[in-house]
Amino acid sequence: MSTSTIVIPKKEYQELIEKKSRYEYLRQIIEGDIFSSPPSNSAKEIIGVFRATKKYSKKFLESLEKGMRRSSYFRL
């Protein structure tokens, strides 16, 4: 079996990786229990994970924390 190399632009590669991630996320939701609780009830831990991605604005993170404070499930 011979191997072949295919060259694509970096931007296109990143888009394919993003689409694969979204597909995997949806597949996990469909196969799993969509009504199950989050893996952690620590609001600080969850917000820390969101912040570490550097994909979310400060305003969004503040809103997320505010919503978690109002929830009876999460603890700070």
pLDDT in tens, 33-72: 666 777 788 999 989 999 999 999 999 999 999 999 898 8
Question: Both tokens of residue 21?
Answer: 């991630």
Q: In this predicted model, what pLDDT tens digit does every residue of 20-35 receive, in sequence order?
A: 988 988 887 787 766 6
Q: What pLDDT score does 1 carry? A: 61
Cβ burial of 53 (10 Å; 0-12, 13-18, 19+) is exposed
* pTM of this structure: 0.50
Contact 35, 24 (CB under 8 A): no
The model's confidence at residue 73, banded by pLDDT at 50, 70 and 90, is: confident
Which amino acid, residue 70?
R
